[in-house]
């Protein structure tokens, strides 16, 4: 019911949530209370009163003594949008590509945009390529592999790998035909919304592909910038795909490893099962050790900081990057870098730089809410005074 949704959304906005998250957070909190079975109602209420979903109790080993060291879920969402209107620079992959043109060598090549019934050539499309669906087939045959992804979206949602080789054409890992591919292109360009991008497919560095060859095995690298300072990398982890996840390397299927920021060594690997973290020394499918050194790590740090300082208005971001044989490529940038798994290693409110960064944002949010409440009280008082004089 629309009226109910609007009522809830308005109340949640008064509590400090943005319009974007207001109803989502209410739903998630309600679902956590009603459907989550791993915790008792008392445990769920204990977590919610302190700003956390109930699954964080085990994930963070929350206690009455340590919960204040963690940036809570509900507080984190109240800070949205951290980057204000500047998040638009990175919220979709095409704008990001245009904004970061000076660093194009660290981005995938962008070939086509399928949108509003058109096939639009993008800035990296070869001059010999036209703007027909058949031209995409030709490009695929020349490049051997292409990536298809929604213009906006995260977590690998909607990602498709197209490939061509001695065994013919493949859609993800399944054999297909030119006819089927042309039908898919036609479907993508007819879809409503922001459209679909066709870009270079990034092949992972052979050392990382050895652990799991079917996914990019991307690195999530978190960056913040405190006021009057340069950007700082606060944490990094590498995520591996697995047979259950196919081409996607989100947290979970193949395990993830923390990365030492100084040396680039990845270690202390874990896997997520039923909202709990378990040690995972070897990849569940290939049995390769989930440890080693990230190739080109010094280059990654140097260039990511240069890029972050090039767009200083973006004060918080999570960059997903793929390590290649010659360097790295930025796959996407998330305006909210995520606070969940990272804090299982080190709470954000324990020490700097994250403690001072987030405390400053929390203080600013509290001041904004105070001003809003003050203005609301003034308006109520004005209405009462007006009503009083009307009755005279």
Q: State how many domains the chain has.
A: 3
Counting residues of the chain whose pLDDT is more than 70, the rounded percentage is 94
Candidates 9, 41, 2; CA nearest to 25 is 9
Domain end marker among 170, 200, 230: 200
Maximum Cα interatomic distance, the chain, rounded to a whole number of Å: 91
Same-domain pairing of 74 and 184: no
32 touches 44 (CB < 8 A): yes
- pLDDT, tens digit, for every residue of 309-327? 999 999 999 999 999 999 9
Candidates 158, 121, 144; CA nearest to 202 is 144
Same-domain pairing of 271 and 310: yes
Residue 212: inside a domain: yes
Cβ neighbors of 298 (< 8 A, separation 6 or more) are 264
The CA-atom distances, in angstroms, between 388 and each of 374, 380, 384 are: 21, 12, 6
Counting residues of the chain whose pLDDT is more than 90, the rounded percentage is 65
- Please report which confidence band the pLDDT of residue 392 belongs to, taking 50, 70 and 90 as the band edges: low
For the chain, the average pLDDT equals 89
Residue 177: inside a domain: yes
Residue 327: inside a domain: yes
Instruction: Say how far apart CA 264 and CA 282 lie, in whole Å.
Output: 19
Q: CATH number of the domain at 219, please.
A: 3.30.470
Tokens of 12: 């949640």
Mean pLDDT of 152-174: 86
- pLDDT, tens digit, for every residue of 317-360? 999 999 999 999 999 999 876 667 889 889 999 999 999 999 99
Give the side-chain half-sphere CA count within 13 A for 160: 16
Tokens of 143: 């490049």
- pLDDT, tens digit, for every residue of 249-297? 766 677 899 999 999 999 999 888 777 788 989 998 999 999 999 999 9
Residue 389 has pLDDT above 80, yes or no: no
DSSP helix/strand/coil, 50:
coil
Mean pLDDT of 92-115: 96
Residue 1 has pLDDT above 70, yes or no: no
Tokens of 76: 């984190």
- Please report which confidence band the pLDDT of residue 156 belongs to, taking 50, 70 and 90 as the band edges: low
| pLDDT of the residue at 13 | 80
Residue 96 has pLDDT above 80, yes or no: yes
Cβ neighbors of 250 (< 8 A, separation 6 or more) are 155, 156, 239
- pLDDT, tens digit, for every residue of 43-60? 999 999 999 999 999 889
Same-domain pairing of 221 and 310: yes
Domain end marker among 200, 217, 252: 200
Same-domain pairing of 72 and 121: no
Same-domain pairing of 329 and 278: yes
Instruction: Say how far apart CA 65 and CA 43 lie, in whole Å.
Output: 15
Domain that holds residue 89: 84-103+205-345
In this structure, how many other beta carbons lie within 10 angstroms of the beta carbon of residue 174? 8
Domain end marker among 200, 224, 253: 200
- Please report which confidence band the pLDDT of residue 388 belongs to, taking 50, 70 and 90 as the band edges: low
């Amino acid at each position: 019911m629309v009226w109910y949704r609007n009522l809830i959304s308005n109340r949640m906005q008064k509590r400090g949530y943005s319009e974007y998250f207001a109803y989502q957070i209410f739903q998630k909190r309600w679902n956590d209370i009603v459907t989550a079975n791993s915790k008792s109602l008392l445990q769920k209420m204990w977590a919610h009163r302190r700003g956390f979903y109930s699954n964080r109790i085990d994930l963070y080993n929350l206690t009455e003594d340590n919960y204040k060291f963690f940036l809570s879920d509900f507080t984190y969402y109240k800070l949205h949008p951290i980057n204000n209107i500047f998040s638009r620079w990175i919220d979709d992959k095409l704008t990001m590509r245009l904004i970061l043109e000076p660093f194009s060598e660290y981005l995938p090549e962008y070939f086509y945009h399928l949108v509003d019934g058109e096939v639009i050539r993008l800035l990296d499309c070869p001059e010999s390529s036209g703007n027909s669906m058949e031209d995409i087939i030709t490009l695929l045959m020349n490049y051997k592999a292409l990536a298809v992804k929604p213009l906006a979206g995260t977590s690998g949602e909607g990602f498709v790998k197209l490939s061509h080789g001695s065994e013919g054409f493949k859609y993800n890992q399944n054999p297909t035909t030119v006819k089927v591919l042309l039908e898919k292109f036609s479907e993508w360009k007819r879809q409503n919304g922001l459209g679909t991008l066709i870009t270079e497919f990034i092949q992972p560095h052979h050392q990382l592909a050895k652990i799991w060859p079917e996914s990019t095995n991307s690195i999530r690298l978190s960056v913040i910038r405190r006021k009057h300072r340069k950007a700082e990398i606060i944490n990094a982890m590498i995520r591996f795909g697995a047979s259950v996840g196919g081409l996607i390397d989100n947290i979970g299927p193949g395990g993830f490893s923390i990365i030492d920021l100084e040396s680039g060594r990845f270690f202390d690997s874990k896997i997520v099962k039923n909202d709990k973290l378990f040690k995972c020394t070897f990849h569940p499918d290939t049995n390769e050790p989930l440890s080693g050194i990230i190739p080109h790590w010094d280059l990654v740090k140097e260039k990511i900081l240069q890029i972050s300082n090039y767009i200083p208005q973006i004060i918080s971001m999570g960059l997903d990057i793929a390590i290649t044989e010659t360097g790295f490529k930025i796959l996407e940038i998330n305006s909210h870098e995520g606070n969940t798994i990272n804090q299982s290693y080190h709470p954000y409110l324990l020490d700097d730089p994250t403690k001072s960064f987030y405390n400053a944002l929390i203080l600013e949010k509290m001041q904004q809410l105070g001003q809003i409440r003050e203005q609301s009280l003034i308006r109520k008082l004005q209405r009462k005074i007006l009503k009083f004089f009307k009755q005279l």
